[in-house]
């Protein structure tokens, strides 16, 4: 014992020392490992947060850029007021023989390829103005001269389309308007369409070129007829229908060649759908008709009464869904989109 006891003492103490070292290492290892875990949890939660942030931003960016409409590209604009502060009421119209296209272009610098939208507010409606045309350049110039500033004062997002009938077959106003509707929708999802004669110039900018819940007839009176509605069901000259209203009636008939009847046909279609034509007050729905002789190639359609009798039976298959044509060119001019089209000729 006397010999073993100091050695045993040392061994015993050494055992405790080793145990102590071992315990300390285990503790140190646990501490290190748990530290890493906490760190990695922190890192992964930070990464998730960063990713979430990134996704939200990307989503926002997508939502600002993906859709082609103007609402998304300019999210900060507020809606234009219900009544534009720019309206002037009754206007002094001028028809100067010296007027040139360049003058009208110079007066309308904010119009780009026939299209305009207010810079300081979001327009309440997007409106396509469709003008059927052939050989009436001077009338078109007068109309553009008055119409562009008129529409801008109404704070509309709009574009003007002129649909030119190619060739010298009898004129077909209604079919050209069907073409205009179909072609304009290729550019933008216009919610409202104005079907506009080239020789009618609006006299009062309170006559709003916007669509209503019902089809709207904008020409209550014109200078040539003492500013009186021509007859109760008159629906010619300038009319406004939403994209859906026009689709619901299957558009205009395609078979009215020459002057007259196609507007009465559209009224019958509207009435068959139990829609009701509305009109602005007579004192604002006034137009000046630019004087002209009847064009050659647009003689009175002698068949129009016979055709009108058939409308209730044929409207479903004669209209937008049967409008065949060949687009010859689409020119994006400063003040309007010029669509030239071959619409064929009357069937004998
Ligand atoms: C014709 C219409 C025309 C109206 C007014 C009617 O007899 O059928 O097409 O708009 O007269 O001139």
Of how many residues is the chain composed? 348
> What confidence score (pLDDT) does residue 36 get?
37
The answer, yes or no, to whether residue 3 has pLDDT greater than 70, is no
> What confidence score (pLDDT) does residue 15 get?
65
**If pLDDT is split at 50, 70 and 90, which confidence band does 291 have?**
confident
The answer, yes or no, to whether residue 69 has pLDDT greater than 70, is no
DSSP 97-163: TT--HHHHHHHTTT-BTTEE--SSSB-S-EEEEEEEESS-HHHHHHHHHHHHHHHHHTT-EEEEEEE
> What confidence score (pLDDT) does residue 83 get?
97
> What confidence score (pLDDT) does residue 295 get?
74
**Smallest Cα–Cα separation from 150: which of 107, 121, 193?**
107
Give the single-character DSSP code of 169.
Answer: S
CA of 235 relative to ligand 1 center, distance in Å = 8
Higher-confidence residue of 157 and 60: namely 157
Question: Which atom from ligand 1 is nearest to the alpha carbon of 259?
Answer: 9
CA of 123 relative to ligand 1 center, distance in Å = 34
**Smallest Cα–Cα separation from 217: which of 277, 150, 287?**
277
Question: Which atom from ligand 1 is nearest to the alpha carbon of 262?
Answer: 9
Question: Which atom from ligand 1 is nearest to the alpha carbon of 237?
Answer: 10
Name the burial class of residue 81, with classes exposed (0-12), middle (13-18) and buried (19+) by CB atoms within 10 angstroms of its CB: exposed
**How confident is the model over 98-125, as a mean pLDDT?**
98
Return phi, psi of residue 38, to 5°: -60, -45
**How confident is the model over 239-255, as a mean pLDDT?**
98
Q: What is the 3-state secondary structure (H, E, C) of 200-248?
A: EEECECCCCCCCCCCCEECCCEEHHHCCCCCCCCCCCCEEEEEHHHHHH
**Smallest Cα–Cα separation from 216: which of 237, 231, 198?**
237
CA of 59 relative to ligand 1 center, distance in Å = 54
Number of H helices, E strands in the chain: 8, 11
pLDDT, tens digit, 9 for 90 and up, residues 147-188: 999 999 999 999 999 999 999 999 999 999 999 999 999 999
**If pLDDT is split at 50, 70 and 90, which confidence band does 211 have?**
very high
**How confident is the model over 302-319, as a mean pLDDT?**
98
Q: Which residues are catalytic?
A: 197, 199, 259, 262-263, 289, 292, 294
């Amino acid at each position: 014992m006397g010999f073993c006891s100091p050695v045993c003492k040392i061994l015993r103490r050494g055992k405790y020392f080793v145990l102590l070292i071992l315990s300390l290492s285990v503790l140190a290892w646990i501490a290190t490992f748990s530290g890493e875990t906490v760190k990695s949890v922190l890192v992964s939660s930070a990464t998730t947060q960063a990713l979430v942030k990134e996704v939200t931003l990307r989503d926002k960016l997508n939502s600002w850029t993906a859709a082609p409409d103007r609402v998304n590209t300019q999210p900060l604009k507020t809606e234009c007021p219900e009544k534009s502060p720019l309206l002037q009421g009754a206007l002094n119209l001028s028809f100067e023989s010296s007027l040139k296209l360049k003058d009208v272009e110079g007066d309308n610098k904010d119009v780009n390829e026939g299209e305009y939208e207010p810079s300081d507010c979001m327009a309440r409606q997007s409106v396509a103005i469709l003008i059927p045309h052939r050989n009436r350049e001077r009338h078109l110039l007068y109309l553009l001269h008055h119409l562009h500033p008129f529409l801008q004062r109404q704070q509309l997002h709009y574009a003007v389309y002129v649909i030119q009938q190619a060739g010298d077959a009898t004129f077909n106003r209604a079919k050209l308007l069907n073409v205009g509707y179909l072609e304009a929708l290729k550019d933008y999802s216009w919610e409202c369409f104005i079907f506009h004669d080239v020789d009618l110039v609006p006299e009062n900018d309170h006559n709003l070129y916007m669509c209503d819940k019902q089809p709207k007839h904008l020409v209550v009176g014109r200078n040539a007829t003492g500013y009186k509605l021509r007859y109760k069901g008159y629906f010619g000259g300038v009319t406004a229908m939403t994209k859906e209203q026009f689709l619901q009636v299957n558009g205009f008939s395609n078979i009215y060649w020459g002057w007259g009847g196609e507007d009465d046909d559209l009224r019958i279609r509207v009435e068959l759908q139990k829609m009701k034509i509305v009109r602005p007050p007579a004192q604002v729905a006034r137009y000046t008709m630019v004087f002209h002789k009847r064009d050659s190639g647009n003689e009175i359609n002698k068949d129009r009464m016979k055709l009108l009798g058939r409308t209730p039976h044929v409207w479903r298959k004669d209209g937008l869904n049967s409008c065949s044509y060949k687009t010859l060119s689409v020119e994006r001019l400063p003040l309007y989109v010029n669509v030239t089209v071959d619409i064929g000729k009357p069937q004998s």
